[in-house]
Amino acid sequence: MEKPIFLQPVFQERIWGGTALKDIFGYDIPSEKTGECWAISGHANGESIVLSGEFYKKKLSELWRKKRDLFGNHPALNFPLLVKLLDANSDLSVQVHPNDEYVQKNGKDLFGKNECWYVLDCKEDAEIILGHNAKSKEELIRLIEKEAWDKLLKKIPIKKGDFIYVPSGTVHAIGKGTLILEIQQSSDTTFRLFDYDRVDAKGKKRELHLRQAIEVASVPHILPKIQPEFAEEGRNRYIKYLESDHFTVCKWEIKEKAEMKKDVPFLLVSVFNGSGTLNVNGFLYYINKGDHLILPASISKYFVDGNFDAIVSHP
């Protein structure tokens, strides 16, 4: 199959969500509390559906099980990555994610949750929480028990275009007024430390997971170093933000026609700005802001053209 696979996103309502996914991308969202677009997902809690072609209306997980050749016969039991758009209309909870080993021993997911964020937009004074100041588990527990959040948590300012890597074990939170594109392992396991004592529509506080969060939190916090690699060809620019054991993440800034060669089994492409075309063996596919697609294993060479930006990733 030498055709791109376009996918229908799945939307998730959240207590901290808003309407940015409709306002900016034109999506048909379920409510004014829509927090997440699961754009490319094979996870059981929200699966992408193929929009057209030979596999029309098939779930991504079904393709992974029955047509593994599309993905270069990748050995993972489940589709390994999850691409999201997050509308943080309010602050997200302070949380931490487990690694693969912890989840496989104690959880329901197959994968842990290493993730990374590309800041699509944010308010002028936007911040995130990334890490903590505790030097030992004992100090971490003591500050949590005292709810000394200002002393414990590290806050950093962010701006549009920032890239942030959040390995498993990192205490973190996305601040309000932020629109994020997230690449993560295909996991829905989150351990909450603090949720600002807010309540849902029924007046109930969301569950916290203090024991698990403390168990999986990295102490002391070490900020991972990100060293992007830049390449330019004509008017086009390509940025490799991260190459890790779990995913590689790049950005395309396309201004003119370019021949592209794919040297990995498959690519996940999320167009977040502009529009253009994708030419595969003479067949032209239009791509627009808000489109999400997979370039399967059979596509080794293709052409892009137009004026668009995309985040591109692979395991």
Point out the residues that are catalytic: 192
Count CA atoms closer than 13 A to 293's CA, side-chain side: 22
Tokens representing residue 155 in the block: 């806050």
Exposure string (b/e) for 72-86, b if CB count within 10 Å is 16 or more? Answer: eebebeebbbbbbbb
Distance CA 281, CA 230 (A): 28
Q: What H or E segment, with its residue span, contains residue 25?
A: helix 20-25
- Write out the two tokens for 107: 């959880």
Tell me the torsion sign for CA atoms 97, 167, 161, 182.
Answer: negative
Burial class of residue 286 in the structure, from the number of CB atoms within 10 Å of its CB (0-12 exposed, 13-18 middle, 19+ buried) = exposed
Q: What values do phi and psi take at 67, rounded to 5?
A: -130, 55
Closest CA to 182 of 158, 162, 159, 154: 162
Q: What is the DSSP string of 62-77?
A: HHHHH-GGGGTT---S
Name beta bridge partners: 258: 304
HSE, CB side, 13 Å, CA atoms: give it for residue 99. 11
304 contacts 260 by C-beta, under 8 angstroms: yes
